Structure 1
Amino acid sequence: MNDEQVTAWNGPSGHAWVESQPLLDRILEPMAELLLRAVPEGSARRILDVGCGAGATTLAFARRVGAEGSCLGIDISQPMIDAARARAEREGVPARFVIADAQTHAFEPASFDLIVSRFGVMFFDDPVSAFTNLRRAAKNDAELRFVAWRSPADNPFMTTAERAAAPLLPNLPARRPDGPGQFAFGDAARVRNILEQAGWAAIDIQPVDLVCSFPEKDLVRYLTRMGPLGRVLDDADDATRTRIISSIRAAFDPFVHGDEVRFTSASWQVVAHAPR
């Protein structure tokens, strides 16, 4: 298990995600819809949602398959799974959740018809082992379907805050190109190689560009809570936070259109199959 990721997602990153869940669900809704379209209403499928976070996509899939199917969400984050379970109970959706690392968790062999993920598979410290484990959990002919961010260069909105803050925060942690993290799957050739080594077949990787939006009034909250900058600002004094936030907010002006923030997300839509 990747101790660094466990610490982050059970600490500041996990709590920040839970606190911002309604906003993040709105931002990422186009990607969730992209995944959902592959599943017919009422289909009798057993679905695994990898890196399910606070459960938005798991619940959406559970509603879609209804009583004929089942849906299990897995994540390493206790606060996010707690939020997912509470939401499932509150909304009366029969989805199940487990706190575990999908890279090593002992799934029932050949038990899922479909394995999905909305930006949840880029954080494994050994992605080949992780997708091999998922392959064992998949039935023969099962489908793997996920979306993952392309490169930072393809997603300027996602790196605007840290680029704008860099002159003010020289110790801001640098992203590791191929390490676990948001852009770990930016290279399609690497993704294909990982899946091939893990035993997946009929791999199809397509670029997907989707327009995302959210209210401008939520922009400061977003940029100060999420990503590397959010973690650094948690430890900054009030004067430093105010100066940095003012500088960063101006850098987002190109994405602000009246009372709405809009940007194009650049992702890979990846589909693969478990061979017979």
Structure 2
Amino acid sequence: METPIPDAPPNAEQIEYWNGAVGLRWLTYNDWLDERTAAYGRAAFAAAAPRPGEAVLDIGCGAGATTFELARAVGRDGSATGIDISAPLLGRARERAAALGLAVEFLEADASRPPFAPQRFDLLFSRFGVMFFDDPVAAFAELRKTLKPGGRIAFACWQEPRLNDWYELPLTAIAHLVERAPVDTRQPGPFAFSDPGYTREVLTAAGFAQIELAPFATPFYLGRGATREAMADDAMEQVFRVGPVARLLEARGEELNAAARDAIRAALLQLADDDGLEVGGAIWVVTARAG
């Protein structure tokens, strides 16, 4: 009789993904990412409206940039905790917290199984950190339990791919070279909550109420530099470091990769101007209350 193979733990694939080579690559360009996504985080932060004395949980905190802002907002009488599954990113977060002199707790754990006592937090916050749950209803239901009565959640998530050129432009540029798979917006990934109807369904099923989705759009500066060529080079670094293009071309031959690089760089050069290489970026700012 064969020994049954145990089921993989929840979010096992994401945990492996963010603690392997990809997590290390994200670590190397974390400052770049924080700078490019800061405006979207500020929009969610404004909706969250953290107040002095509150206890806040930052979900998918990464290297801690948003956790530090939350800590400053809640002050010494409050508390800010960051949770993430990526050990490399949390290591950077702890280093930065020590350098800043901020009393912030960082916890390596799966936010879909939050290891906190019930009713610990006033606010749950996330900048692009809640779209990777295997079972989003179960995850949000568990997170809701950590909220105090009347507690709230606020997070930023990307709108559909066609409104986000940072994602679409490189893929469109190589469409004549390689076919891409369609985006499944109900699977873990950057666009998991791009459908507002689905997002409402998930949060309602998880026990949240007063659910609102506010659109927010602002340019995403994919590349910066002193010249158009330098801007394109900066953008190319990001495009091929992480994201859909890197994954799509990973197992392709050298010739196809070279052709893809030429096509993407040409598309990027067309967009570069004196202000930088600006592309479209659009998010939902989602807010809700514990039901």
Unaligned 5+ runs, structure 2: 1-9, 225-230
**Equivalent residues in 2 for 1:98-109 (5 A)?**
98-109=107-118
Q: What amino acid does structure 2 have at the position aligned with 1:266?
A: A
CA distances 1:84-134 after superposition (whole Å, capped 9, x unpaired): 111111222221111111111222110000100001111101000010011
Question: Identity over aligned residues, as a percent?
Answer: 36
After the TM superposition, which of the residue ranges 84-93 and 136-145 deviates more from structure 2? 84-93
- Structure 2 Cα separation of the partners of residues 17 and 140 of structure 1: 36
Identify the residue that residue 156 of structure 2 maps to in structure 1.
147
**Equivalent residues in 2 for 1:51-62 (5 A)?**
51-62=60-71
CA distances 1:8-54 after superposition (whole Å, capped 9, x unpaired): 11123211211111111110010121233346686111110111111
CA distances 1:132-182 after superposition (whole Å, capped 9, x unpaired): 011001111111000100111221331222332344345x66533311001
Contact kept? 1:224, 1:233, Cα under 8 Å = no
Structure 1 residue 231, shift from structure 2 partner: 3.7
- Structure 2 Cα separation of the partners of residues 228 and 158 of structure 1: 8
- Structure 1 Cα separation of the partners of residues 204 and 77 of structure 2: 32
Which of 50, 72, 77 aligns to 1:68? It is 77
Which of 198, 202, 217 aligns to 2:210? It is 202
- Structure 2 Cα separation of the partners of residues 232 and 154 of structure 1: 20
| Alignment pair present for 1:49 and 2:65 | no
| Alignment pair present for 1:226 and 2:235 | no
Structure 1 residue 55, shift from structure 2 partner: 1.2
RMSD: 2.1
Structure 1 residue 234, shift from structure 2 partner: 5.8
CA 1:254–1:206: 2 relative to 1, 3 Å: farther
CA 1:55–1:236: 2 relative to 1, 3 Å: farther
How many residues are aligned here? 274
Identify the residue that residue 120 of structure 1 maps to in structure 2.
129
CA distances 1:53-86 after superposition (whole Å, capped 9, x unpaired): 1111111211222212111111111111111111
CA 1:232–1:80: 2 relative to 1, 3 Å: farther
Contact kept? 2:154, 2:287, Cα under 8 Å = yes
Q: What amino acid does structure 2 have at the position aligned with 1:3?
A: A
Please say which structure displays the higher CA radius of gyration: 2
| Alignment pair present for 1:83 and 2:99 | no
CA 1:196–1:42: 2 relative to 1, 3 Å: closer
Identify the residue that residue 263 of structure 1 maps to in structure 2.
279
Please state whether the residue corresponding to 2:219 is helix, strand or coil: strand
- Structure 2 Cα separation of the partners of residues 270 and 111 of structure 1: 21
- Structure 1 Cα separation of the partners of residues 175 and 26 of structure 2: 23
- Structure 1 Cα separation of the partners of residues 284 and 275 of structure 2: 29
